[in-house]
């Protein structure tokens, strides 16, 4: 691959495989992968564990008040071949992936002060380039000048099925209908929020992976990456 290091911004709907795709890209290029969705999940988890979210009800003032106490960092895990997320030094990689956190994360991420704090953290992480960052507003807000912007999507039922298999494989007791409703409601929340809504950047390339294998997606990426580099 070319030695020129760039920023790759990857936005799109929930459960369409953004993180898996971004990790594969980062591994292929030797880039740093930054899972911004995990960062918002980490804030939601912290809020749940510290009384700012109770029975699904979010106390926005309490969430904002505790932001100064939250420090997020990523550490490479050689056993997984990927980075784990830590909050105040505690590993939370597994805890943030529950359906309870999924049901709250869109509302938490719509809080202006939460987005302001995390966007600044993300921009600092990407200053040296050579990063792949996925989320909802990477190409539109965090890195509007990223050299390669990808907008991922897939049919909602396909995404729900993928998420259902992922959770049940871990032993979680969930129903497909519950997962599907979560996918649809998160789409609605992400695209309609007032602060940094999910939308395709004007210069982003759309990747609909509803019927694509991982290998086909990587072949697609290789073509687009070389096109951007002009080689």
Checking if the pLDDT of 42 tops 80, the result is: yes
Q: Report residue 164 CA to chain centroid gap.
A: 18
CA gyration radius, the chain:
17
Phi then psi for residue 199, to 5 deg, are -155, 155
Checking if the pLDDT of 51 tops 90, the result is: yes
- What are 1-25's pLDDT values in tens digits? 456 899 999 999 988 989 889 999 9
CB atoms within 10 A of CB 155: 14
Structure-token pair, residue 161: 């099925």
Structure-token pair, residue 212: 């694509």
How does strand 32-35 pair with strand 131-135? Answer: parallel
pLDDT value of residue 1: 46
CATH number of the domain at 7-226, please? 3.40.50.300
The reported pTM is: 0.78
Length of the chain counted residue by residue: 231
Residue 126 to residue 103: CA distance in whole angstroms: 28
Structure-token pair, residue 168: 């049940």
- What are 80-128's pLDDT values in tens digits? 777 889 999 999 999 999 989 999 998 999 899 999 999 999 999 888 8
- What are 172-197's pLDDT values in tens digits? 889 999 999 999 998 998 898 888 88
List, in sequence order, every residue forming a beta bridge with 34; answer none if it has no partner. Answer: 133
Residue 94 to residue 196: CA distance in whole angstroms: 27
Residue 131: which H helix or E strand, with range? Answer: strand 131-135
Distances from the Cα of 54 to the Cαs of 79, 209, 214, in angstroms? 35, 36, 38
Residue 154 to residue 14: CA distance in whole angstroms: 9
**Which own/partner pairs from 117-121 qualify as long-range (CB within 8 Å, at least 24 positions apart)?**
117/67, 117/70, 118/36, 118/39, 118/40, 118/43, 118/72, 119/196, 121/39, 121/72
pLDDT value of residue 83: 81
Domain ranges of the chain: 7-226
Q: What is the DSSP string of 74-90?
A: EEEETTTTEEEEEETTE
Question: Which of the two residues, 35 and 204, has the higher pLDDT score?
Answer: 204
pLDDT value of residue 82: 77
Q: Which residues contact 65 (CB under 8 A, 6 or more apart)?
A: none
Grouping H, G, I as helix, E, B as strand and the rest as coil, residue 111 is: coil
């Amino acid at each position: 691959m070319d030695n020129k290091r760039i920023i790759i911004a990857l936005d799109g709907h929930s459960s369409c495989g953004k993180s898996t795709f971004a990790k594969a890209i980062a591994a292929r290029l030797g880039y740093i992968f930054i899972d911004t969705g995990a960062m918002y999940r980490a804030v939601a988890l912290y809020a749940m564990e510290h009384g700012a979210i109770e029975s699904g009800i979010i106390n926005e003032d309490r969430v904002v008040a505790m932001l100064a106490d939250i420090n997020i960092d990523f550490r490479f895990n050689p056993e997984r071949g990927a980075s784990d997320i830590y909050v105040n030094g505690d590993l939370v990689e597994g805890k943030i992936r529950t359906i309870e956190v999924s049901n709250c994360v869109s509302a938490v991420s719509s809080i202006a002060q939460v987005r302001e704090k995390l966007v600044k953290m993300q921009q600092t992480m990407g200053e040296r380039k050579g990063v792949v960052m996925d989320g909802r507003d990477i190409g539109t807000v965090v890195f509007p000048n990223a050299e390669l912007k990808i907008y991922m999507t897939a049919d909602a039922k396909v995404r729900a099925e993928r998420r259902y298999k992922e959770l049940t494989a871990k032993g979680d007791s969930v129903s497909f209908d519950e997962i599907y409703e979560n996918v649809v409601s998160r789409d609605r929340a992400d695209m309609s929020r007032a602060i940094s809504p999910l939308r395709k950047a004007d210069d982003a390339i759309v990747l609909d992976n509803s019927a694509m294998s991982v290998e086909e997606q990587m072949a697609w990426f290789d073509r687009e990456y070389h096109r951007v580099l002009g080689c």
